[in-house]
Amino acid sequence: MSKSSLKHNESDPSLPRGTALLHDPLLNKGTAFTMEERAALGLKGLLPPKVFTMKEQAARVLENYRNKQTDLERYIHLASLQDRNETLFYRIVMDNLDEMMPIVYTPVVGQACQQFGHIFRRPRGLYIPYDERGNIAEILHNWPQKDVRVIVVTDGERILGLGDQGASGMGIPVGKLALYTACAGIPPAQCLPVMLDVGTENLGYLRDPLYMGIRHHRVRGQEFDDFVAEFITEACKLWPKVLIQFEDFANLNAFRLLESWRDRICTFNDDMQGTAAVTLAGLFSALRITQKSLCEQKILFLGAGEAGIGIADLIVSAMIDEGASLETARRQCWFVDSKGLVVKSRDNLVEHKLRYAHDVPFATDLLSAVKALEPTAIIGVSTIAKSFTREVIETMAQKNERPIIFALSNPTSKSECSAEEAYTWSGGRAIFASGSPFPPCVYQGKTFVPGQGNNAYVFPGIGMGVVACEAAHITDRMFAQAAKTLAEQVLESDLEMGRIYPSLSRIREVSAYIGAAVAEVAFRDDLAGIDKPVDLLAYVQSQQWQPEYEAFVK
């Protein structure tokens, strides 16, 4: 029955009643159920008599939240709220995003994963252990929501910078999906976190009596690939419009999974492609300051893992869009890994580094590579703290009027340099961004507000765009367009402070612009599954879920 056809004081008969309603986090309003709703839905006596507004409920949650002694306790507090009342949870997270994003997601979610078996309250999402191979369809059918649109799936092997967390890595898909909703407005009922539990090499977990995953070493090779394939095939059968985001798979699987599935289903890998888009956006913003083109940049990466290669691949694709040839574009991207400059003469380079191995003399370290190549930008994705030394940054500043210096390794303790070091050693000329947040700093009387290249600027908006237009695939062109759009959303006043990303307080608005830009590419490239709306931005905005209580009784 539609709500408009309800008579006065009547409720939708399909709604659960009584305690079942209070225990449904998507519908529960707790003390905000009105007297009419309490009467109509069998809630009388199950709640204290005073009816509270959402604002009053939020004040109570915040008071408790801020009284907690540790970040992990704050994480547990918010997770419990999400399990009771998702609408209130999202209202509070969205209204306090700067404060809560580091709790709901990195870095605190990392601690939560490490303690997962010890802090566990209620399950969220689907656990698919390897022992259930052959039965995945049955497990997926157990999920109560019928219109799943975004799945974040992990096997927990490379959780943030923490290595193999096995089934405890489930905190990551849960946290990431919370950001899809908070930052872009994907309805929570359409989000599904999935743990593909293929075992763990983490001996601490294998010995921990409270560890919640299956207790054997990781399944590898063809058996692993077949298991992932069964999951993907069954999920796409059940939810044909679903976007499946791979998350925190180890390098040995991540590159292969992306390559083998990206043209067959709607999928992407945020560690590679999301990171790439947010970094490219940072470059586009930096170029607004330097007034140069992307093709004029020579970019030197420290670290040739998932993030570095993903960023370089997207930069190449964006340079090609600007008219460069593949060869020329690749020649603008250079890598230093743990063994030195990646060059053609080196033996045993893995596949993904080969395309960036250029025919020049070898350099043993970053400083000699900077001196030899004279890059316009250095991007740190090495996990090696303090590897952008004073000499490296001073050399960059000698060669460039405005050196671009991105120290992206997380957490803060692994950052290649601090914001203060970048500004001080470059004489206040660096255009700086980091992976983890740094506080504003003052250099010679000027205040700099460093930008944080947080993937949350990009993946929720990409998801929103893809879901809104029912895109069949997610292409590099969509990521490049997302990057361009994000850079356009940076205000002149942000750039003046040195901030090359917009303020987080505008993230919903920014995500809608990114969503519309991504959908535009989908329509242009004939990948969209719906007719094109006249006003794409307005359409995407209309699809954004809002954390507001629905009236259940007319």
According to DSSP, the residues that pair with 195 across neighbouring strands are: 127, 154
Q: Kindly state the smallest distance separating residue 356's Cβ from ligand NAD, in Å.
A: 12
* SS3 state of residue 352: helix
CB-nearer residue toward ligand NAD: 175 or 453: 453
Stretch that binds ligand NAD, among 143-151, 409-417, 492-500, 513-521 (CB under 6 A): 409-417
Of the candidates 6, 384, 504, 530, which one interacts with ligand NAD according to CB under 6 A? 384
Q: Kindly state the smallest distance separating residue 76's Cβ from ligand NAD, in Å.
A: 24
Q: What does the alpha-carbon distance between residue 360 and residue 344 come to, in Å, rounded to a whole number?
A: 7
Does the protein bind ligand NAD through residue 435 (CB under 6 A)? yes
Q: Give 405-444 as a DSSP string.
A: EEE--SSGGG-SS-HHHHHHHTTT--EEEESS----EEET
Stretch that binds ligand NAD, among 302-310, 416-424, 512-520, 537-545 (CB under 6 A): 302-310
At 184, which helix (H) or strand (E)? Answer: none
Annotated active-site residue in 65, 75, 90, 105: 105
CB 284 within 8 A of CB 487: yes
Of the candidates 5, 14, 338, 493, which one interacts with ligand NAD according to CB under 6 A? 338
Q: For ligand NAD, what does the binding mask look like between residues 198 and 237, x meaning CB under 6 A?
A: ----------------------------------------
CB 262 within 8 A of CB 243: no
At 548, which helix (H) or strand (E)? Answer: none
Look up 176 and say whether it is catalytic. yes
Handedness of CA 205, 274, 279, 98 (dihedral sign): negative
Q: Which residues of 62-101 are buried (b: 16+ CB within 10 A; e: fewer)?
A: eeebeeeeeebebbbbbbebbbbbbbbbbbbbbeebeebb
Residue ranges of the alpha helices (H) in 436-535? 459-469, 476-488, 492-496, 507-524
Q: Which residue matches tokens 């952008």?
A: 388
Q: Which residue matches tokens 């007034």?
A: 291
Of the candidates 161, 428, 437, 533, which one interacts with ligand NAD according to CB under 6 A? 161
Does the protein bind ligand NAD through residue 278 (CB under 6 A)? yes
Q: Kindly state the smallest distance separating residue 394's Cβ from ligand NAD, in Å.
A: 19
Q: Kindly state the smallest distance separating residue 288's Cβ from ligand NAD, in Å.
A: 20
Does the protein bind ligand NAD through residue 109 (CB under 6 A)? no
Does the protein bind ligand NAD through residue 460 (CB under 6 A)? no
Does the protein bind ligand NAD through residue 241 (CB under 6 A)? no
Question: Which residues, numbered 305-334, are part of the site for ligand NAD (CB under 6 A)?
Answer: 305-308
Does the protein bind ligand NAD through residue 271 (CB under 6 A)? yes
Residue 236: which of 192, 173, 287 has the closest Cα? 192
Q: Kindly state the smallest distance separating residue 272's Cβ from ligand NAD, in Å.
A: 8
Annotated active-site residue in 29, 75, 176, 211: 176
DSSP symbol at 423:
H
Residue ranges of the alpha helices (H) in 115-220? 116-119, 136-141, 171-179, 203-207
Residue 547: which of 184, 191, 83 has the closest Cα? 184
DSSP symbol at 457:
G
Two structure tokens written together for 28 = 């529960």
Does the protein bind ligand NAD through residue 69 (CB under 6 A)? no
Stretch that binds ligand NAD, among 176-184, 232-240, 335-343, 504-512 (CB under 6 A): 335-343
Q: Kindly state the smallest distance separating residue 451's Cβ from ligand NAD, in Å.
A: 10
Q: What does the alpha-carbon distance between residue 186 and residue 168 come to, in Å, rounded to a whole number?
A: 25
Does the protein bind ligand NAD through residue 544 (CB under 6 A)? no
Instruction: Name the phi and psi angles at 86, rounded to 5.
Output: -70, -35
Does the protein bind ligand NAD through residue 490 (CB under 6 A)? no
Stretch that binds ligand NAD, among 111-119, 323-331, 377-385, 524-532 (CB under 6 A): 377-385
Stretch that binds ligand NAD, among 23-31, 91-99, 107-115, 378-386 (CB under 6 A): 378-386
Does the protein bind ligand NAD through residue 455 (CB under 6 A)? yes
Q: Kindly state the smallest distance separating residue 105's Cβ from ligand NAD, in Å.
A: 11
Does the protein bind ligand NAD through residue 517 (CB under 6 A)? no
CB 156 within 8 A of CB 247: no
Taking the CB of residue 132, how many other CB atoms lie within 10 A of it? 15
For the chain, helix (H) and strand (E) counts, in that order, are 25, 14
Task: Kindly state the number of chain residues that form the binding site for ligand NAD, as judged by CB under 6 A.
Answer: 27
Taking the CB of residue 356, how many other CB atoms lie within 10 A of it? 21
DSSP symbol at 268:
E
Stretch that binds ligand NAD, among 167-175, 217-225, 286-294, 448-456 (CB under 6 A): 448-456
Q: Kindly state the smallest distance separating residue 277's Cβ from ligand NAD, in Å.
A: 10
Does the protein bind ligand NAD through residue 511 (CB under 6 A)? no
Beta strand ranges found along 278-325 (DSSP E): 299-302
Catalytic residues: 105, 176
Which chain residues interact with ligand NAD by CB under 6 A? 161, 251, 271, 275, 278, 302-308, 336-338, 381-384, 408-410, 414, 435, 453-455
